[in-house]
Structures are given as C-alpha cells and as structure tokens.
Amino acid sequence: MPDVQSTVLEFVNKLRKRKIEGSQATARCTVELLRSVISHHRVPHHANQASALIDAVKAVGAQLVAANPVELAVGNVVRRVLHIIREEDLSLATAAVAGLDLLDASDDDDEDVNNGKGIGYPAMSAAVVAAAARSTLRPPSLQTLLEGTPESATVPYTSSSGADSESKTADKSSITRKLKHDVIEGVNQLIHEIAGCHEQIAEQAIEHIHQNEVILTLGSSRTVLEFLCAAKEKKRSFRVFVAEGAPRYQGHLLAKELVARGLQTTVITDSAVFAMISRVNMVIIGAHAVMANGGVIGPVGVNMAALAAKKHAVPFVVLAGSHKLCPLYPHNPEVLLNELRSPSELLDFGEFSDCLDFGAGSGSPLLQVVNPTFDYVPPSLGGHNPSYMYRLIADYYSADDLVM
Amino acid sequence: MWRRSASFVLDKHHNNKPISLTPSLDSPPPLSDSMAEVNPNPNPVSAYYQTRAKHHGIVTSDWLEQAQAAVVRYPDKDSPVAGRRPFSVIEEFDNWRQQPDLAEAVAAIRALAAVIRASEATTMMELEIELKKASDTLKSWDTTSISLTAGCDLFMRYVTRTSALEFEDFNAAKARVLGRAEKFGEISYKARKIIAVLSQDFIFDGCTILVHGFSRVVLEILKTAAQNKKLFRVLCTEGRPDKTGVLLAKELAKLDVPVKLLIDSAVAYSMDEVDMVIFGADGVVESGGVINMMGTYQIALVAHTMNKPVYVAAESYKFARLYPLDQKDLEPALRPVDFGVPVPPKVEVERSARDYTPPQYLTMLFTDLGVLTPSVVSDELIQLYL
C-alpha cells in the first residue's frame, strides 16, 4: 500500500508540473496507476467489496483530477474504471441471485402477496432484479420512469448481500476475489483499448480519404499521423496541407514525419488556412477532448479552421480515441478548460525584456502576452452527428460517476 | 387550398369538425356528424389552456399536500357514489385537474388508477381493455392537452409491457400498478427537483435569463438558483393574452431576484443583453422540438439569430408521440383573446394558444433523464414504444 501511495503522489506531481503531454499518454499512465491501486487494495472481509474499491478509486481519481483539471482524459479514465467495477459487480450479483433463485423458487409466490406495497427483492424473480440493477447503471429513461424502484434495486445489487443470506464465508471470499480478478481483467482491456486506439481509428482511413484528395490538418496529433499513413499504406495518393500550429510549431514536426513516411506535404502558416481552404477536400484534426454536447477541444486555431471549413462546406472530421470522450458539458470552455502557456513560446525574452519589465511605470508591464493552448469548437461547427454523443457516453460511463 | 397542413389526416379531421369562429365562445359549434359522438367535449376552446389560465392565478408550492389531501378525500367522497352511478374517468380526471399545480399528466394517471381501482376485471387482459377504453375516452375528451395524451400513453405502456407481467398473481400485479400510479405525483415532483439541480451548472453568476410565460419547472430552476446564491437577472415576457409572465415576475420578485417585464414584442429589442433563454414546455415532440405557449417560436428564432443558447425545461412525461411538420400540423388549441378594445366585425382573430418550435432552434433540453440534446427525445420514445 505505501508504495502505491508514493506512485500516486509521484504521478500527481508530474500532472501538476505538466510533465506528461498528450491525452493518450496521460490516459495510459492514469489507468496503469489505477490498476495498481486496485490490485494492491485490501478490503476487510465483511465489507462490501465493490463499494470499497469504488471509494478507493474515487479517492485517487479526485487527487489526479485536481492535479490537472484541464486534462480531461484523467477524469474520463477514472470514470471508465469506476464503470468497469460497477459492471463487474453487477454481473456477479446477477449470477449470485440467479443461483439463489433456483434454490428457493418455491418461497417466491407466497411472499409476493405479503409484500403487496413495498415490494422488496425476494418477491421479484432474478430477471426483475437484474433489470432493476441494470437500470441503476444505465441513465434514467422513460421506460424506467414508472418502473423505477431504486431503493429496492440497490439492496440486491451489491454482491455481498447477494451471497449473504445463503452461502458461507468461504464462498464469499471466492466471490470477492473473483470481483477483483474480473475488474483487473476489465482494466487491462481498457489499457489495451487506449494503447490500440490509433490503429483502430486508422483502420477507417481508407473509407474517408480518396485518391488525389487534399487534406488539411492543424497542429500535431499522433492519431492524425497514423490515420494519414494508414491511407498511404493502402496505396492512396493524396496531398496533405499542414498548418504549422504557432507558437509551438508542432505542425513542423508533423510535416517532417509525414515526409519521412513518403506523403506529399505542404506546410502553410496558420493564417493561410482560409486562403487554402477552397482547395481542400477535407479537414482532419485530432482532438484534445470531445465534450458531451459534441463540442470539441483542440489545439489553438482549430476554431478558425472549422469556421473556414464551414464557410466552404468542406467536411470537418475530428479524430478522437474513446478516452477523450468526456461526459461533462462545457461551461465557458474557452476560459475554464484552457491552459495559458509560457510567453517565451511567442516572444524572445532577450529582445522584449524592456516591454515586459514589471518594475517600470505602474508596476505591470505594458506588453501582455496571452498564449492559450486550446480552442473550443462548438458542436454546430464540428464533428459527425455530435447530437448523438450521449449514446457513446451512456455506453462508457455510469450516471453516478459524472460528478466526482 | 395548397397552403394547408402537410398532414392530410389532420386536414380531413378539420373538415369534419369546423371550428366556430364566432366571437361568443359559449355557443356550441355546429355538430356536423359522427365526430360529435366520439368527442364528448364539444367545446372548441382548449380545456387544457382554460385550466392553466385558472390555475396560474394561484401559485403554490404545496401542491403535493393538496394531492395528498385529495387522496384522503377520495374514499369518503367517491366510493359511495361509485355504488350508485357508473364510474366516469372524465369526472375523475376533472376532479384531479382542479388541483392547481398538479401536472395534467399526473391527473391523467391518477384518473386511470381510479379506473383500475373501480374495475372488476379478473385478468390482466380485461383490465388492459378497460384501461384502453378509459384512456381513449380521456384523450378524446381534451385532444388539445399533450401531457394528458402523453401521460395516458406512458401509463398504458407501463401496464402492458413492464415488470408488472413478471408477477404471476393478478392481484399483486394490480397492486403494484396502482402503487406506481399513486407514486406518480411524487415522481413528477421529484422530476422538477432533478431538473432544477441539473440546470444549475448552466446558470452562471451575472447572467441574464429570458423566460416566456409561466412554467412551474422554470420557476423551480430559478428558485433553486436563487437559493444557491447565484446572481442573475431575469427578463419576463408579458405572455399575452393571459399574462402568465406577470405572474412569474411576481413570484421572482418575491424571491428578491432582479426581474424586468417586457411586452411580448420587445424580445428582439432586449435580446442583446440576454445570455440564455429558458422555456418550459407543454409537450416535447418526437423530433425534439417543443410545443409551448404562443410566442415561444419567435423568441427561439430571435435567440438563434443572435447566437444565444435556448434551453427547454420539461419533465420526461411530457415527451409525446407527435411529429408536427409545421405550425398548423397540430390539434388546434384555442382560447379567448382579449384585445382590450372591441374587435371590429368581419375581422378574424388568431386564437391559437401555442406554437411549435423545431429542434434546430433549441440548444439543450433539461429533463429528469438528464441534460439532453433534442435528438435524444426520439430515441427515448422509440425505446419505449417500439
């Protein structure tokens, strides 16, 4: 346990100092850390295994999110892990209840009548319990509006109470071990998914990029690089325009890598995007995060590219791994979900040091530098069918975990 | 008549039931044919809007107690009556509807619950048929109320295809259905609370909110925001002709929220100082658009042009299986309009009480199912009814 605590602290420090860059790397580190938290976590035997695990993950998750609230991938991954725990617990509970149901099916009928009003769990068949438990995981829907028995549903759905009434402690401890095993299995799958997201996205490249097309991209994203290269490998020939992505010029790096892989590449300045857009067949960008309303947070300058694409009716495609899908709604994202970086990326300190002098005049320099990292593209401009984003979110996250 | 509603079914319906445009509303319209027998309520004026107008004179938050009181009142008042004369859903529904602040859908479901209680059916099938009849009568009694129809449909759906069927014993199933129906008032109350909590993230300090007409959900949202010590300003439209906006302004002023009244035509003038528009809804239709008090559509249009977010707060039981193609593709809900001056003869008066706002003008829906984009509505309805 202490060594886990120290790795958590180490990671928190890294996040705080912005030592880890890119949402994929962050997501990967986060989920690996959470896996070790889960595997090192020891719960007292009598306690409810699942909720203890959830609490532990939540506690670590809160620290990580607080360390870098702008990197939404951290929160997303923590929520995904929580969802995995809940799901595994549910499937175990359903299995346990189904087993119970076979044993005392005869009791069911007479209890049914007795219960009348406050229908509890013994009166319901295993199928009902499973359905009720599933509805606690799923977001509320019209279907469950009238059915909804959240009070009674939560009782049977924890694994410990499922086993309590009937089985011995030996059986129970095997169940708890099974839960942990299943959860770690699930988390491993998640790690696999995050690691393989580039390949999975790149598989679709051939369907989107056609012969002799001109693609515009902005900033540097590994997903975009893999996407373009995948199309190239399938013998598509096309041109790529790369906006250089001032002030960090990550576009230069991307252009270099694209050329190394044999793609025809043109570097343009960010301000030339509008001039070139009429020659472009498709804009492809990588996202920093995709919000629940379908809005996209991407490298600075993306909104401009999206507006230009909209003006010329050019398809605007956003590539994002599932770990970038954030279940939150953006409120004032231009300010609250943005990060201001060092002015040294824009201006040379030596040359401009007079203008930036805090000692002169009123005490604040006359020259101010604002260097935001991200740009927000509202859902009306970007993405494919952003209004159906809620579907994906319902698949990946539990409603209970949205607020951490 | 090429400028007709796109839905020819409804057009036919219009032909069958001409709407009287005589200024006197009390005179019954010409009963043309068999439609009169089907519809037991020949009055062309929308019963739904009459009740709304009546209720919103009194604004109370303790309607749950009223509902509870009504439950207590129920056995000693109605059961002896039931013995003497045949049970009528419409009377029952009317009874419930009289409660101010009790949502129409709740009244409908309570009335249907009373049908179950009065029923002598011995099988689920019999009960279903009885309920179907009752709900059809209710729906045809006031075709203008969307939440009545939606409430009936929702309840019917629950009775026919839910875990109620998991019970082998008929009485247990009946008791469960009844229990849930009686809880529905609570569900609706809770829904309003959930919506108020969910919407708090969207109201930021220093914002100006435009609201239109009176909506209990919107009032709840603003009340919660005020209780959370948010600093915001509200612009209320007047909400002609029943001036429901004035009532909302009064309620807000009681909460010490800075509030300003506008005449309905001043919306575009004031829109530049507005940060968001919040509407209630009479019904949310399958396209994700809303049907709401007259004037909603034009406010949404203005807000859309000026890039202001438009939020709609509606409980999920207002989701209705309707797909209006245009403004006239709805059952017309009429109400008297008082112009203050006598209307000259030979001048027609537009008396429709509501309009339809298409989904592309709405940003988000605040519902008890969560904060949704308009496209989720069809998804939910398809899941429930398909």
Burial of A368 (0-12, 13-18, 19+ CB in 10 A): exposed
CA dihedral A72, A73, A78, A83 (to 10 degrees): 100
From the list A113, A294, A388, the residue facing B172 with the nearest CB is: A113
Q: Which residues of A touch B167 (CB under 8 A)?
A: 112
For the domain spanning A202-338+373-401, the CATH number is: 3.40.50.10470
**A139 lies within 8 A of chain B by CB:** yes
Measured in angstroms, the CA of B25 and the nearest CA of chain A are apart by 38
What integer pLDDT is reported at residue B35 of this predicted model? 43
Residue B1 inside a domain? The answer is no
What integer pLDDT is reported at residue A171 of this predicted model? 60
Task: Please report, for chain A, the start and end positions of each structural domain, with discontinuous segments joined by +.
Answer: 2-195, 202-338+373-401
From the list A125, A146, A292, the residue facing B154 with the nearest CB is: A146
The mean pLDDT of chain B is: 80
| In a shared domain, residues B168 and B217 | no
Measured in angstroms, the CA of A387 and the nearest CA of chain B are apart by 6
**A329 lies within 8 A of chain B by CB:** yes
Q: Do A293 and B184 touch (CB under 8 A)?
A: no
Residue B9 inside a domain? The answer is no
Hey, of A113, A125, A142, A397, which one would you mutate to test binding to chain B, going by the most B CBs within 10 A of its CB?
A142
**B315 lies within 8 A of chain A by CB:** no
CA A352 – CA A380 distance, rounded (Å): 40
Average pLDDT over every residue of A340-357: 81
**A17 lies within 8 A of chain B by CB:** no
A286, A297, A299, A304, A335 from A374: Cα distances, Å: 12, 6, 5, 12, 9
| In a shared domain, residues B214 and B136 | no
Residue of A nearest to B173 (CA): A116
In contact, A269 and A247? CB cutoff 8 Å: no
The SS3 of residue B345 is coil
| Listed residue (A326, A241, A252, A245) closest to A291, CA to CA | A326
| In a shared domain, residues B136 and B260 | no
Per-residue confidence band for B33, with pLDDT thresholds at 50, 70 and 90: very low
Q: Do A293 and B373 touch (CB under 8 A)?
A: yes
Q: Is A385 left (phi over 0), alpha (psi -120 to 50) or beta?
A: left
Give the up-direction half-sphere exposure of residue B73: CA atoms within 13 A in the CB hemisphere. 10
| Listed residue (A48, A34, A36, A52) closest to A1, CA to CA | A36
Q: What percent of chain B has pLDDT over 90?
A: 36
Last residue of a domain, one of B161, B193, B225: B193
In contact, B254 and B288? CB cutoff 8 Å: no
Residue B136, C-beta contacts closer than 8 angstroms, at least 6 positions apart: none
Q: Is the dihedral of CA B316, B318, B324, B326 positive or negative?
A: negative
Q: Do A139 and B381 touch (CB under 8 A)?
A: no
From the list B175, B179, B375, the residue facing A388 with the nearest CB is: B375
CA A33 – CA A249 distance, rounded (Å): 32
| Residue B240 per-residue DSSP state | T
| In a shared domain, residues B172 and B202 | no
CA B146 – CA B139 distance, rounded (Å): 9
What integer pLDDT is reported at residue A97 of this predicted model? 73
Average pLDDT over every residue of B17-28: 45
A252-309 per-position pLDDT tens digit: 999 999 999 999 999 999 999 999 999 999 999 999 999 988 899 999 999 999 999 9
Q: Do B163 and A124 touch (CB under 8 A)?
A: yes
Say whether pLDDT at A359 is over 90: no
CA B368 – CA B197 distance, rounded (Å): 10
Per-residue confidence band for A148, with pLDDT thresholds at 50, 70 and 90: low
From the list B162, B172, B372, the residue facing A147 with the nearest CB is: B162
Measured in angstroms, the CA of A110 and the nearest CA of chain B are apart by 10
Give the up-direction half-sphere exposure of residue B141: CA atoms within 13 A in the CB hemisphere. 18
Interface of A with B in 267-296 (CB under 8 A): 292-294
Find the CATH number of the domain harbouring B261: 3.40.50.10470
| In a shared domain, residues B27 and B67 | yes
A305-334 per-position pLDDT tens digit: 999 999 999 999 999 999 999 998 888 887
Helices (H) and strands (E) in chain A, counts: 19, 8
Last residue of a domain, one of B178, B193, B208: B193
Count the residues in chain B. 386
CA A146 – CA A118 distance, rounded (Å): 15
CA B288 – CA B182 distance, rounded (Å): 29
Q: What percent of chain A has pLDDT over 70?
A: 77
Measured in angstroms, the CA of B45 and the nearest CA of chain A are apart by 31
Residue of A nearest to B361 (CA): A380
What integer pLDDT is reported at residue B344 of this predicted model? 92
A65's tokens: 């999110």
| In a shared domain, residues B219 and B133 | no
Interface of B with A in 154-213 (CB under 8 A): 154-155, 158, 162-163, 166-169, 171-172, 175-176, 179-180, 184, 187, 201-202, 204
What integer pLDDT is reported at residue B237 of this predicted model? 95
The SS3 of residue B12 is helix
| In a shared domain, residues B150 and B47 | yes
Hey, of B368, B376, B378, B380, which one would you mutate to test binding to chain A, going by the most A CBs within 10 A of its CB?
B376
**Higher pLDDT pick, B23 / B196:** B196
Residue A165, C-beta contacts closer than 8 angstroms, at least 6 positions apart: A100
- Cα angle B320-B323-B327, degrees, rounded to a multiple of 5: 110
B66, B100, B101 from B62: Cα distances, Å: 7, 10, 8
This prediction has a pTM of 0.79
Q: Do B384 and A141 touch (CB under 8 A)?
A: yes
CA B17 – CA B30 distance, rounded (Å): 8
A339, B237, B242, B265, B363 from B268: Cα distances, Å: 36, 11, 21, 7, 18
A44-103 per-position pLDDT tens digit: 666 677 888 888 899 999 999 999 888 899 999 999 999 999 888 888 887 777 666 555
Q: Do A140 and B368 touch (CB under 8 A)?
A: yes
| In a shared domain, residues B175 and B129 | yes
CA A301 – CA A307 distance, rounded (Å): 10
DSSP string, B74-127: HHHHHHHHHHHS---HHHHHHHHHTSTT--HHHHHHHHHHHHHHH----SHHHH
Average pLDDT over every residue of A137-156: 56
Measured in angstroms, the CA of A245 and the nearest CA of chain B are apart by 28
From the list A117, A131, A329, the residue facing B371 with the nearest CB is: A329
Q: Is the dihedral of CA A160, A163, A167, A172 positive or negative?
A: negative
**A249 lies within 8 A of chain B by CB:** no
Residue of B nearest to A391 (CA): B376
Please give the tally of structural domains in chain B: 2
Residue of B nearest to A129 (CA): B163
Say whether pLDDT at B330 is over 90: no
CA B238 – CA A115 distance, rounded (Å): 52
CA B341 – CA B146 distance, rounded (Å): 32
**Higher pLDDT pick, B267 / A158:** B267
CA B301 – CA A176 distance, rounded (Å): 57
A115-129 per-position pLDDT tens digit: 433 334 444 455 555
**B373 lies within 8 A of chain A by CB:** yes
Can you tell me the ipTM of this complex? 0.76
Q: Which residues of A touch B166 (CB under 8 A)?
A: 124-125, 127-128
Helices (H) and strands (E) in chain B, counts: 14, 10
From the list A113, A131, A389, the residue facing B169 with the nearest CB is: A113
| In a shared domain, residues B213 and B77 | no
What integer pLDDT is reported at residue A385 of this predicted model? 61
Q: Do A142 and B179 touch (CB under 8 A)?
A: no
Burial of A27 (0-12, 13-18, 19+ CB in 10 A): buried
| In a shared domain, residues B262 and B152 | no
Q: Do B168 and A109 touch (CB under 8 A)?
A: yes
CA B45 – CA B258 distance, rounded (Å): 36
Interface of A with B in 370-389 (CB under 8 A): 386-389
Say whether pLDDT at B168 is over 70: no
Helix A49-67 × helix A72-103 angle, to 10°: 170
Average pLDDT over every residue of B207-213: 95
Give the up-direction half-sphere exposure of residue B100: CA atoms within 13 A in the CB hemisphere. 11
Burial of A51 (0-12, 13-18, 19+ CB in 10 A): middle
CA A92 – CA A86 distance, rounded (Å): 10
Q: Which residues of A touch B381 (CB under 8 A)?
A: 142
**A145 lies within 8 A of chain B by CB:** yes
A144, B151, B297, B363 from B373: Cα distances, Å: 19, 22, 18, 7
| Listed residue (B50, B59, B19) closest to B242, CA to CA | B50
CA B131 – CA A138 distance, rounded (Å): 30
Measured in angstroms, the CA of A339 and the nearest CA of chain B are apart by 21
Residue of B nearest to A138 (CA): B369
Q: In what order do the strands lie in the sheet with A282-286?
A: A264-268, A239-243, A214-218, A282-286, A316-319
Last residue of a domain, one of B193, B219, B246: B193
Q: Do B316 and A145 touch (CB under 8 A)?
A: yes
The SS3 of residue B336 is coil
Residue B372 CA to its chain's centroid (Å)? 19
What integer pLDDT is reported at residue B98 of this predicted model? 73
Give the up-direction half-sphere exposure of residue A386: CA atoms within 13 A in the CB hemisphere. 25
| In a shared domain, residues B203 and B131 | no
Residue B6 inside a domain? The answer is no
| Listed residue (B126, B113, B135, B162) closest to A119, CA to CA | B162
Query: How many CB atoms are closer than 10 A to CB A174?
Result: 12
Find the CATH number of the domain harbouring B59: 1.20.120
Q: Do B376 and A390 touch (CB under 8 A)?
A: yes
Say whether pLDDT at B71 is over 50: no
| Listed residue (A2, A139, A130, A19) closest to A71, CA to CA | A19
Q: Do A331 and B364 touch (CB under 8 A)?
A: no
Q: Is B346 left (phi over 0), alpha (psi -120 to 50) or beta?
A: left
Residue B3 inside a domain? The answer is no
| Residue A20 per-residue DSSP state | S
DSSP string, A244-275: --TTTTHHHHHHHHHHHTT-EEEEE-GGGHHH
What integer pLDDT is reported at residue A187 of this predicted model? 93
What integer pLDDT is reported at residue A130 of this predicted model? 57
CA A331 – CA B27 distance, rounded (Å): 54
CA A396 – CA A83 distance, rounded (Å): 7
Q: Do B163 and A147 touch (CB under 8 A)?
A: yes
Domain extent at residue B233? 198-385
Q: Which residues of B touch A332 (CB under 8 A)?
A: 204
Q: Do B381 and A391 touch (CB under 8 A)?
A: no
Hey, of A108, A114, A146, which one would you mutate to test binding to chain B, going by the most B CBs within 10 A of its CB?
A146
In contact, A200 and A322? CB cutoff 8 Å: no
| In a shared domain, residues B188 and B308 | no
Hey, of B131, B169, B205, B373, which one would you mutate to test binding to chain A, going by the most A CBs within 10 A of its CB?
B373
Average pLDDT over every residue of A20-31: 88
Say whether pLDDT at B222 is over 90: yes
Residue B14 inside a domain? The answer is no
In this predicted structure, which of A149-163, A387-401, B145-159 has the lowest mean pLDDT? A149-163
